Every structure is written in structure tokens, then in C-alpha cells.
Amino acid sequence: MTTKSKVFLYDTTLRDGTQGEGISFSLLDKIRIAEKLAGFGIDYIEGGWPGSNPKDLAFFAEAKKHDFGMTKLAAFGSTRRAGGKASEDTQLAQLLEAETPVVTIFGKSWKLQVDKVLGVPHEENLAMIRDSVAFLKSQGREVFYDAEHFFDGYKDDMAFALSTLAAAAESGADMLVLCDTNGGTMPEEISEIAAVVESRFPRKVGIHTHNDCGMGAANALAAVRAGALQIQGTMNGYGERTGNCNLTTVIPCLQLKMGIPVVADLTRLREVSLFVDELANCQPDVRAPFVGSTAFAHKGGMHVNAVAKTAAAYEHIEPSSVGNHQNILVSELSGRSNILLKAEEFGLQLEKNDPAVLRVLARIKALESQGFEFEAADASLDLLIRKELGLHAPLFELNGYHCSFRRDAVGSSTTCEATVTVLHDGQSFITTAEGDGPVNALDAALRMSLLKLHPWIAEISLSDYKVRIVDGGRGTAARTRVHILSSSGADSWGTVGVSDNIIEASWMALVDSLEYRASKRSA
């Protein structure tokens, strides 16, 4: 790396990120995300394109009422229209009306784009860049120039691509951001080209990469090594096609691997990542580097044995440094170390040579061969270990259950009904309930049968219900695995059931959910 100068983070989640399929934020979402990013220490937040849609106009109007501390908001747009004057350009006027301290505009740096897309003479393209930057600078704004398709343009005609940067720089642009818009450039090309640009325009180079080849983060870091002082990207890598440079990957790489501090409290990284996913209504990427739930998960017996002795054996950083944690998984690949660490996590003390460890391990492997899996079902695993240790007292005893389905006389609606018979403290309880489906009805009947004796059951809700076919080759006779996620206020826990009968598999997971909660209440 040519410099240890500060690298500035420029977040474009609220603009470029929303161009990704399925990504949309309300006005309130955008304000909340901007506040979260500012609190995390992002230097620049691009709020949107005021000239493109009413929501972005509303965002900038609302943002004026909020304090983002040291973070600067940026409005995004393009250079002036061809043949016009920057001072009379409606779109540039809207950028100024946003009243942000920073304005980012993009222009063409690839002859193909100028000739085939923009359709203007090369000199007019340069004039559009010069005029737009000069006008915005005359209005007292910090101006970033995004050189769209720069790397493709450079490889096509180096002199032409560099002339577009010169047009922006000569007009006062504060930063020249090199965009790998198609995401097809390799890291070694990024380093080489960025170094040339840095030598021509020292301390003015930024980088904006896309992830079409899976190189978004690597390319951004390659540019930093060549002297780039600004990285543009999005939280969780949201963006068009395969996404943008992922800041949740780049930030810890800069700070922990390259020794370049960019945020004050890196331990908030996972929290910020999950917050943005939640507002985007997206499932978090469990395998995301640093912030994913499996980023520090260990499953193989040899690996678990090693990390039990020293976490550094299979962890490249301390998980807590990015707000994550180590996760020991238990499966058919497990060894005794997995069981010991998992039992300790559940508050159970086992010795390495305790015969119960081998019994638990054998039981898990037998169940997994039948289609069970406990990676997302810690509550069921907790109960299994307690049962093998003789520490579990059943909440009730099942005598039987029955589910039925009926359609009304005209066939316009259907009803599912379930009857459950349980024994509890020597008493028999028979309860019938209706539901949207057999599992819903069964859940309702079970709860009703126990509610009088255990009022706390009313606090429990089913947050998620997933069904997986274990052996699809058997068609409708296939074995089914059911995962249930239950919650009670701030707590949540996963349980699993497996059977040839989907109702039975669901019943097993439902019962484990209540049994687990009961065990925790009595602990």
C-alpha cells in the first residue's frame, strides 16, 4: 500500500443498494438506516437521486430535520444534459435543492457509452463533465465525480478515459471515483490502473466496484493498496445484478487486516448488518464473512477439538471484534469435543470420559441418519442431552391426538380440527381446537389443554415453521423434517421433528418447544 492515510467510507445502500432485486425502503426506513450508519461512523451516506423519484426528494427534505453528526449526506445525480447549460439544468438544480454538503455526479468515461448510449461528440461529453463540476463547486458543494465504466473505458482507450478524469479534476472535483460498473475487472487490473490514476491525480482517487465476478470487496481493497482514499459500497452488498462492494466485508478487512482504522467501534458491525437486513426484509446471509451466523461455526469433530484448546486454530480473528460469536454445531460429523462444548453452553457440566458423552453422541448420529439435524434446533439438542443424563421431567404425557378436515356444504371454506388427550399430574385433559391447518389446530389444542396449569404458555408464539423433504425419491411417502422457531419476548429457540407423517413431525417439534421452555423456567 502506498499510504497509511485515512480511507473514507462512502455508503450508497440507500441509492445503489435499492437497485438490487427485492430491495426497497420506505422513507422512514431510509432515515433510520442513515442514522444507524452515521452512528456507526460512516463518513458519507448517499441518500438517493433527488431527480429520479418522489421518495428520494422526500428523504432529503426529512433529513434536514435530523442531526447526523460528523457524517456528511450526499445527493446523487448525473452531469448536465447534452447541449444545455449547467446553471439551467433542472436535475442539477434538484441536487442543490437537497441542500447536502456533498454532491456526487456520474459521467461517461468509456467511448462505447459516449457513442452508443449518450450519442454525443467526445468533446461535448468532456464539456458536460467540466460544466457540471464547475457549477456545483461554484455553489459551495464538495463534489465527487463518479467515472462510470472507468475500467472498461481505460482498457478500451486509456487516453480518452483519463481525459474525462482530467475534465473533472480541472473543474475542481474533490474526488475522482473509478467505477467498475460492469463488475468484470480483476484485482490485479484494478491495482495497476488505480496506481496510474493516483500518479496523475494524487490524493483524489476513490473506488466504486460491483460484484459480478465475486471480486467487489477484493477490487476495492486492491484500489486502496494502490492509493485510493475513498471506498464506495453498500451494507450487505446490496445492489444491481449480483450487488455492490460489500462494506461489511471491506470494513473489517481494512481495520483488522490492513491496519487502517475506519470506524470507532467495529464490534457493532454485525448489529448494523442485521439492522439493514431487517429493514430491507431480507434474510441475512448466514455465510457472509465476519457477520454471518456461520462465520465462526465449527462442526467437524477435529476442528471443534482444536478450537476448544485454542480458538485461533480455526478462527482468523476474535469473533467478538466484529460483534459475532463462536458457534459449535453438533451433527453426525461431531466428536466428543462438540458435545462437551455444547453441554457447557447449555449450563451442563460433563467430563470428557463420562459415558453419557458417548451415549449422547451415538444418539445424535442415529437420529441424524433418520433425517434429524440440530444445527438450527438447539432447544431440541438441549432436551436430548438432558434426557440422556436423566435430568428431564416431561411436562405432560400424551395419550393421543386426532386431526380432521371438513368442507362446508357449498365448498367455499374449509375447517381443520384437532383433538388432543394428555395426562398431567394424574389428570386426563381432552381438548379440541380449530385452526387454519392441521398443525395450527394441533398447536392450539395442545396449548389449550395445558394453559390452565401453565399460564406462561400464553407468552409463547411460533415465529417460523419450515418443512423439508428428507428423501424426495420416495415421493409422497418421503420422510419430512419440520423446524419450528418459537419465541417469548426477547428469547427465541429452535426445535426439530422428523417423521414419515408431517403431522407427527410437527407434533414432535411443537412438544419440544414447550418442554424446552418449561425446563428453562424451572432451572
Mean predicted lDDT score pLDDT of the chain = 90
Structural domain containing residue 276: 8-280
Do 303 and 272 belong together in one domain?
A: no
Asked whether residue 334 carries a pLDDT value surpassing 70, the answer given is: no
Q: Examine the fold and report which residue of 222, 254, 280 is the final residue of a domain before the chain moves on.
A: 280
The average pLDDT across 386-390 equals: 87
Between CA 464 and CA 232 the distance in angstroms is 36
Q: Whose CA is closest to 34, among 19, 53, 17, 22?
A: 17
Between CA 417 and CA 220 the distance in angstroms is 58
Contacts of 423-431 with C-beta under 8 Å, sequence gap 24+, read 423/396, 423/397, 423/398, 423/399, 424/395, 424/396, 424/397, 424/450, 424/453, 425/453, 428/399
Q: What is the pLDDT of residues 258-299, one digit of tens each?
A: 999 999 999 999 999 988 988 888 888 989 999 998 899 888
The average pLDDT across 101-113 equals: 97
**Does residue 47 sit within a domain?**
yes
Do 216 and 308 belong together in one domain?
A: no
Give the up-direction half-sphere exposure of residue 413: CA atoms within 13 A in the CB hemisphere.
3
Q: Examine the fold and report which residue of 280, 310, 343 is the final residue of a domain before the chain moves on.
A: 280
Do 359 and 218 belong together in one domain?
A: no
CATH number of the structural domain spanning residue 439:
3.30.160.270
**Does residue 251 sit within a domain?**
yes
Q: What is the pLDDT of residues 185-233, one digit of tens each?
A: 999 999 999 999 999 999 999 999 999 999 999 999 999 999 999 999 9
**Per-residue pLDDT, 356:** 83
Asked whether residue 3 carries a pLDDT value surpassing 90, the answer given is: no
Q: What is the CA radius of gyration of the chain?
A: 29
Asked whether residue 118 carries a pLDDT value surpassing 50, the answer given is: yes
Query: How far, rounded to the nearest angstrom, does the alpha carbon of residue 156 sit from its chain's CA centroid?
Result: 36
Asked whether residue 329 carries a pLDDT value surpassing 90, the answer given is: no
Between CA 261 and CA 252 the distance in angstroms is 9
**Does residue 121 sit within a domain?**
yes
* DSSP per-residue string spanning 170-183: HTT-SEEEEEETTS
Do 457 and 432 belong together in one domain?
A: yes
Do 457 and 486 belong together in one domain?
A: yes
Do 36 and 112 belong together in one domain?
A: yes
Q: Which residues contact 416 (CB under 8 A, 6 or more apart)?
A: 403, 404, 405, 434, 435, 436, 437, 438, 440, 441
The average pLDDT across 163-190 equals: 98
Between CA 189 and CA 178 the distance in angstroms is 12
Dihedral sign of CA atoms 377, 380, 383, 389 in order: negative
**Does residue 379 sit within a domain?**
no
**Does residue 287 sit within a domain?**
no
CATH number of the structural domain spanning residue 240:
3.20.20.70
Do 340 and 270 belong together in one domain?
A: no
**Does residue 378 sit within a domain?**
no
Q: Examine the fold and report which residue of 323, 354, 369 is the final residue of a domain before the chain moves on.
A: 369
Do 127 and 231 belong together in one domain?
A: yes
The average pLDDT across 440-461 equals: 90
- Which residue has better confidence, 55 or 166? 166
What kind and span of H or E run contains 479? none
What kind and span of H or E run contains 168? helix 158-170
**Does residue 215 sit within a domain?**
yes
Q: Are 323 and 269 in contact (CB under 8 A)?
A: yes
Share of the chain above pLDDT 70, in %: 95
| Domains in the chain, number | 3
Q: Whose CA is closest to 38, among 9, 66, 69, 65?
A: 69
Do 27 and 153 belong together in one domain?
A: yes
Do 194 and 116 belong together in one domain?
A: yes
Do 34 and 76 belong together in one domain?
A: yes
Name the packing angle between helices 158-170 and 122-138 (round to 10°).
30
Do 72 and 105 belong together in one domain?
A: yes
- Which residue has better confidence, 30 or 340? 30
Q: What is the pLDDT of residues 10-45, one digit of tens each?
A: 999 999 999 999 899 999 899 999 999 999 999 999
**Does residue 319 sit within a domain?**
yes
pTM reported for the whole predicted model: 0.72
Name the packing angle between helices 438-451 and 502-522 (round to 10°).
30
